Amino acid sequence: LAKTTQPISMDSYEGQEVNITCSHNNIATNDYITWYQQFPSQGPRFIIQGYKTKVTNEVASLFIPADRKSSTLSLPRVSLSDTAVYYCLVGDIPQAGTALIFGKGTTLSVSS
Amino acid sequence: DAGVIQSPRHEVTEMGQEVTLRCKPISGHNSLFWYRQTMMRGLELLIYFNNNVPIDDSGMPEDRFSAKMPNASFSTLKIQPSEPRDSAVYFCASTPPTAHVYNEQFFGPGTRLTVL
């Protein structure tokens, strides 16, 4: 599994766009990049996944440059409810049921 | 549909006591994972099962920990005897057999264990 590095914490204000960058210099050809979000007192939940270029869903966008050595999770116009820990995970799309390895994540604090 | 169900949600016990945490995965899911989360160590995988069979238990900290999955709808994580350093939030997660495109894991609400 490729090692990932992301900031320990970030602060933002409501309405701003937040970009969280994850470094994964040793990403392998078959690896995908997945982000999970964890609210206080809850389990993590999947938010987005990509392989290259850009992926967008109703929650976030994921930008992956051509060399794939990093990725950026973009949260548009954050609100107080986006305060959470965001985890970047890199690994091969596995057979169903392969374990995930979580790092420490990035704690995002959104203030009014 | 009900999500992953864990019980109890909170458990307070004394050192040396046996603790049993329970998990009911989402119906139809065939993989189940037990994680432990602490401030110091973050979220750690303890063990996971595919089709009720333990696949990787290398994350189980020591022999005091054991996990079983007697059928597709139930799993237990047992700690005997418990120690204060076992205090943590324990999460159970499951995935369906067709989840491999996203490897999306569905987490339960967790059990907060406090060992005094």
Condensed to tens digits (0 to 9), the pLDDT of residues B76-86 reads: 999 999 999 99
Q: What is the pLDDT of residues B32-53, one digit of tens each?
A: 999 999 988 888 889 999 899 9
Paired with A4 in beta bridges are none
Quick one: which of B102, B96, B111 has its CA closest to B35? Answer: B111
Residue B42: C-alpha distances to residues A12, A13, A77, B11, B52 (Å) = 23, 26, 28, 20, 26
A39 in contact with chain B, both atoms CB, cutoff 8 A? no
Mark yes or no for CB contact A42/B99 under 8 Å: no
**Closest by Cβ to A93, choosing from B44, B101, B108:** B101
Q: In A, which residues are within 8 Å of B106 by CB distance?
A: 45
Residue B74 tokens, joined? 């139930």
pLDDT along chain A (112 residues), means of 10: 86 97 90 91 92 92 96 96 94 61 90 95
Which of B42, B101, B107 minimises the CB distance to A103? Answer: B42
- Compare CB distances from A96 to B31, B44, B45 and report the shortest one's residue: B31
Q: Say what percent of chain B tops pLDDT 70.
A: 94
CA closest to B34 among chain A residues: A99
